[in-house]
Chain A
Amino acid sequence: MTSITSLLGFGAEGWGDDLASGALVTIALALATLPFGLVLGFLLSLAKQSEDWALRLSADIYTTIFRGLPELLTLFIVYFGINGLLKAASDGAGLPALALSSFASGMVALGVVFSAFASEVFLSAFRAIPKGQREGAAALGLRPRHVMVLVILPQVLRVALPGLSNLWMNLLKDTALVSVVGLADLLRQTQIAARVTREPFLFFGTAIVLYLVMTAVSSVVIAWIERWTRRGEPAR
């Protein structure tokens, strides 16, 4: 039996470099999904506050569907469904075969799930801002756009941050699901290593430790961002 250090080491013999590249893919997927999910979630929260009932209803339908479906099923539907449509379209048009990669499918599936949850976080944050803030800003003569950007948004971000950081943790953990459709992320590299070396406990244990490190680093960064958003408040 080879020693643990040589199994987890870097280089031709060890699997350390494979796990590290997998971890990078995991982080890249989560970071690539985040802006897309945040922007979409924010727009959805605006739609939910709109005076237009059709817009509100549409946003609610979106949330109901993507909050209710299991993430794995959403991923399968995106991966098999969109690829099926793309194949039919490219065959029909006589184009070379188009396909959505597992990374892109993961981005779409995790992004829509993230945005569905984020819209609710933003919505409750908007509701936590007293009406007087909007009225006061308007009384000072700020344009509606400036009221939003200078007065409302900074406060909304501050209130929404704990909820959003929860969602980020879920996103980071959900990236592991994309390994099922073949993305070479941390979990998939771990599975390969476990199968080849017949040391599943060691490798899955290592993967769990690496995920823990990622969530721990995230919570440090989030605490730092939270302090930054509260810099305007009097020190206690």
Chain B
Amino acid sequence: MKNALDPPLAATPPDVLPRRRPGFAGVLALGAWLLAGLSLVAYLAAAWNPDLLARYAPIYLSGLWTTIQLVAISFVAGALISVPVALGRGSKGFVQRDLSTAYVVLFRGTPFIAQLFLIYYGFGQFRDFFETIGLWGFFREPWYCAIFALALNTAAYQAEILRGAVASVPKGQWEGAKSLGLSRLTTLRKVILPQAAIVALRPYTNEVILMVKASAIVAIITVYDLLGETRRAYSRTFDFQTYIWAAILYLLIVELLRHATNFAERRLTRHLRR
């Protein structure tokens, strides 16, 4: 039964902007993009070099694969670390709360590149110590340092996403599940997390996109990810198209992730649509 006080559903037509003939500014702006796109194509065609392509295409793909691995491993490791941090942030004990707050502030308040340098160059100062505890093999390698730094960094962001998403589920859901006799773990698994997942989906995939972009920084400590291979290719050929190809690949990954998110969100919220 529809309540008479409810606003009428389709009394006002949806805000569809009228299609008007483009004005001067629009033509100018779109023309500039068209010109930029055409000159990019012309540049790539003029700089077309089959030898270069044959030589570097497999290298770029392996760099791309390194980037994907780096992001995937760090994302999962960061997700594991983020659980205790998120629990600490919501905890009543002030030691846990202050420690996890300090962790989040430290990693979100400073540049990732500085964190990476502290771990890669700074930990080298304690080589003797790491050798005695048998971890020097780990911190000597740029690859492991990159994973370590990226995982710690994303854990701080993921902890905030997790905390916010769980807090967004109304308290009555916990109480209702309790009155049905569900255990805390079952409540979390079957009642809270499915609802939190809808809230968290977009921030999580945003975080993956931010990680893809941030992971490019590890090229500075000689990890040969996509940007690392690009830098190496540029330093050998001095051909600027090396950077253009990297940009195209990065844009492809990010756009793919963005569209996948939109699709997943439509699927997850299809019961909410009218």
Contacts and interface: CB of A to CB of B under 8 A. Distances in A.
Interface of A: 47, 50-59, 61, 64-65, 67-73, 76-77, 80-81, 84, 169, 173-177, 179-180, 187, 190-191, 194, 198-201, 204-205, 207-208, 211-212, 215-216
Interface stretch (B78-86, B105-113, B176-184): B105-113
6 contacts: A55-B25, A55-B29, A58-B33, A69-B251, A73-B243, A77-B244
A53 B21 CA distance: 8
Interface stretch (B58-66, B163-171, B188-196, B210-218): B210-218
Nearest to B218: A72
B114 A70 contact: no
Nearest to B26: A54
**Which secondary structure characterizes the binding site on chain A?**
helix
A176 B22 contact: no
Nearest to B18: A51
B255 A64 contact: yes
B220 interface: yes
A71 B25 CA distance: 28
Contacts of A204: 114, 117-118, 121-122
B247 A201 contact: no
Contact of A70 (B30, B105, B214, B255): B214
Nearest to A216: B109
Contacts of B234: 80
Nearest to B115: A208
Contact of B240 (A59, A80, A211, A212): A80
**Which secondary structure characterizes the binding site on chain B?**
helix
A212 B106 contact: yes
B23 A55 contact: yes
Contacts of B126: 201
B25 A201 contact: no
B109 A212 contact: yes
A52 B114 contact: no
Best-surrounded residue of B217, B234, B244 (most CB of chain A within 10 A): B217
B76 interface: no
A70 B216 contact: yes
Given A70-B214, A81-B240, A215-B109, A208 B114 contact: yes
B125 interface: yes
Contacts of A177: 111, 113, 217
A73 B251 CA distance: 11
A178 B178 CA distance: 54
B240 A201 contact: no
Contact of A58 (B30, B216, B230, B258): B30
A81 B19 CA distance: 37
Nearest to B32: A58
B17 interface: yes
Given A58-B33, A64-B251, A73-B247, 12 more contacts: A54-B26, A55-B26, A55-B30, A68-B213, A69-B250, A70-B250, A71-B213, A173-B111, A187-B111, A187-B113, A194-B122, A211-B110
A65 B251 contact: yes
Contacts of A201: 118, 121-123, 125-126
